[in-house]
Amino acid sequence: MIAQDIEKVLLSEEEIENRCVELAHQIEADYKESGDTPIIVGLLKGSVPFMAELIKRFEFPCEIDFMSVSSYDGTESIGDVRILKDMDLSCKNRSILVVEDIIDTGRTLVEVKKMFKNKGCLDVRCVTLLDKPSRRVCEIEADYVGFEVPNEFVVGYGLDYNQKYRNLPFIGVLKPEIYQ
Ligand SMILES: O=P(O)(O)OC[C@H]1O[C@H](OP(=O)(O)OP(=O)(O)O)[C@H](O)[C@@H]1O
Ligand code: HPA
Ligand SMILES: [Mg+2]
C-alpha cells in the first residue's frame, strides 16, 4: 500500500543487504587491526534497519547504544540539532562508531562528532547507509558509505517523510504529489 506512493526504487532490498555485508567486512577489518571494542551508536530513528542489518555481520566484540537527535521538519533541515535522548553507556575513553541512515547537509554529523569529542571519546567514526554530497553545507564525510544518492528526497529502510515510510524494505523516491 505505502509502496504506491513511491515514484521509483533507487536501491532494492537485495542491493542494500549485499552492500551491508561488504561494509561490515571493511569495518571489522579496521577494528580488528586497532584492537578496540567500539560502542556502535545508532542515531534514532532512521538508522534502525541499517544498524540491525550491519551489526549481525560483525564478528568482533562491540557494544551497542542509541541516541536521538533531531534536525528535520518535513523535507527541510532547520539547522538546529537537538539531543532528544542521550546514550545509556559512558563514552569517555571509548571508540565510537556512529550509525546514520543518511548524511545530507552534514549538520547532524558535525554536531554529534563534536559532542563525542567533548565527552572524551578516543576515536569517533561514522558509517552511513546513504550519502547525499550535493546537499552538504558542512565539510564532513562519513568514514564508511553504503551508497551515494542524488539530490532527491528518499524514503524507506529507516528513512521517513513525516515519520512514515521507514518500514519500506527498499530506498525509493516519493511521488511529488505526496509532499507538495
Ligand atoms: O545531514 P543532515 O542534514 O543533518 O541530515 C541527516 C539527518 O537527518 C535525518 O534525521 P532526522 O532528524 O529526520 O531523524 P530521524 O532519523 O528520526 O528521521 C537523518 O536520519 C540524519 O540523522
Ligand atoms: O532524503 C532524505 N529522506 C529522509 N530523511 C532525510 N533526512 C535528510 N535527508 C533525507
Ligand atoms: Mg527524519
Question: Containing domain of residue 136, as a range?
Answer: 9-71+79-154
pLDDT in tens, the chain (180 residues): 999 999 999 999 999 999 999 999 999 999 998 989 999 999 999 999 999 999 999 999 999 999 999 765 555 544 566 889 999 999 999 999 999 999 999 999 999 999 999 999 999 999 999 999 999 999 999 999 999 999 999 999 999 999 999 999 999 999 999 988
| SS3 at position 25 | helix
Number of separate domains in the chain: 1
- The pTM assigned to this predicted structure is 0.95
Which ligand is closest to the CA of 101, given by its number? 1
Query: What pLDDT score was predicted for residue 6?
Result: 97
Specify the pLDDT at position 70. 79
* 178 in any annotated domain: no
How far, in Å, CA of 156 to CA of 13, rounded?
Answer: 10
pLDDT at 180: 83
pLDDT of res. 4:
96
- Specify the amino acid at residue 21: V
The answer as to whether 115 is a domain residue is: yes
Give the pLDDT confidence score for residue 87 in this predicted structure: 96
ipTM of the complex: 0.98
Question: How far is the centre of ligand 3, averaged over its atoms, from the C-alpha of 160 (Å)?
Answer: 5
Residue 14 parent element (H or E):
helix 13-34
Atom of ligand 1 nearest to the CA of 138: 1
Which pLDDT score, from 0 to 100, does residue 101 have?
98
Q: Closest Cα to atom 1, ligand 2: which residue?
A: 153
In a domain, 19, yes or no: yes
pLDDT digit string (tens) for 35-85?
899 999 999 999 999 999 999 999 999 999 999 997 655 555 445 668 899
149: domain CATH number?
A: 3.40.50.2020
- CB 155 within 8 Å of CB 169: no
Is 168 among the domain residues? Answer: no
Q: What's the Cα-to-Cα distance from 169 to each of 3, 9, 145, 159, 166, rounded to whole Å? A: 10, 11, 19, 10, 8
Q: Would residue 18 count as lying in a domain?
A: yes
158 in the Ramachandran plot: left (φ > 0), alpha (ψ -120 to 50) or beta?
Answer: left
In a domain, 119, yes or no: yes
Atom of ligand 1 nearest to the CA of 47: 16
What's the confidence (pLDDT) of residue 52?
Answer: 98
Residue 174 within a domain = no
Residue 164: the pLDDT is: 97
Q: Is residue 166 part of a domain?
A: no
Mention every residue, 6+ apart, whose C-beta is less than 8 A from residue 37.
60, 61, 62, 63, 95
**Which helix H or strand E contains 67, and what residues bound it?**
strand 63-73
